[in-house]
C-alpha cells in the first residue's frame, strides 16, 4: 500500500499542476484524449474520484451514472474540486476492504485495482491535459515505472474492452514515451 500511496501522490500532484494551468479559455479546446475537450477530461477526472469512492463504499456502476453529467470544471475552482474528489477517494480507500470486488463499468474487479487504475488515469490524463493546454508533461520516473508495470495488465484489459487505443511506436526510448506509446498516445 505504501507504493500506491506514493504513486497516488505523484499522479495527483502531476494532474493538479496541469489542472491549475487550465484557465476558462482552454476548457472548450481539444484535449489529447480523442473526442474529448479539456472540459470533458477535467470532468471525467474529478468525477472519477467520486465514482471510485462510491464503488468502494458499495455502490453499483449504475449508481455512479449521476456523476457523469456534473460540470465540475465550470463550478468555481476545478483544482479545489479535484482535491475534494481525491480526498473522498482516499478516504474510501482507507476504510474499504480492497480485496472485495466492486462493480466498475468495465467489469467487476477488486477494490485494490481501482487504486492502480486511479494512478494510471491521473498520470495518462495529465498528459492529455498537457496536450490540450500546450504544457509540458513531466511525470516522475517512479510514476512512469509504476504505470508501465502495475497498470500494464489493466491497460491491456481495458484495451480489449475498447477503452484504450492500440499501442503505437514510441517517439523515443524514454520510459515516458514508451508509456505513452503503450497507452496509444503520442
C-alpha cell at position 144: 512512469
Total domain count, the chain: 1
Q: What Å distances lie between residue 108 and 64, 86, 114, CA to CA?
A: 14, 22, 10
Q: Quote the pTM value.
A: 0.95
pLDDT, tens only, 117-149: 999 999 999 999 999 999 999 999 999 999 999
Residue 109 lies in a domain: yes
Strand 101-104 versus strand 107-110 pairing type: antiparallel
Q: Provide the CATH number for the domain around residue 110.
A: 1.20.120.450
Phi and psi torsions of 117, nearest 5°: -65, -35
Residue 170: phi and psi, rounded to 5, are -65, 150
pLDDT in tens, 21-76: 999 999 999 999 999 999 999 999 999 999 999 999 999 999 999 899 999 988 78
Q: Which domain holds residue 46?
A: 2-137
Please check whether residue 119 lies inside any domain of the structure. Answer: yes
Amino acid at each position: 500500500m505504501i507504493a500506491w500511496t506514493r504513486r497516488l501522490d505523484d499522479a495527483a500532484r502531476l494532474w493538479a499542476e496541469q489542472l491549475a494551468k487550465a484557465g476558462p479559455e482552454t476548457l472548450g479546446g481539444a484535449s489529447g484524449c480523442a473526442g474529448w475537450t479539456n472540459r470533458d477530461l477535467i470532468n471525467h477526472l474529478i468525477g472519477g474520484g467520486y465514482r471510485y469512492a462510491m464503488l468502494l463504499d458499495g455502490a453499483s456502476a449504475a449508481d455512479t451514472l449521476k456523476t457523469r453529467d456534473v460540470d465540475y470544471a465550470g463550478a468555481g475552482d476545478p483544482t479545489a474540486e479535484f482535491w475534494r474528489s481525491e480526498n473522498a477517494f482516499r478516504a474510501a480507500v482507507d476504510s474499504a476492504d480492497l480485496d472485495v470486488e466492486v462493480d466498475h463499468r468495465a467489469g467487476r474487479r477488486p477494490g485494490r485495482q481501482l487504486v492502480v487504475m486511479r494512478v494510471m488515469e491521473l498520470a495518462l490524463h495529465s498528459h492529455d491535459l498537457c496536450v490540450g493546454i500546450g504544457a509540458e508533461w513531466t511525470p516522475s520516473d517512479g510514476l512512469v515505472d509504476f504505470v508501465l508495470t502495475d497498470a500494464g495488465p489493466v491497460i491491456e484489459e481495458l484495451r480489449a474492452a475498447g477503452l484504450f487505443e492500440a499501442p503505437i511506436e514510441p517517439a523515443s526510448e524514454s520510459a515516458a514515451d514508451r508509456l505513452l506509446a503503450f497507452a496509444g498516445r503520442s
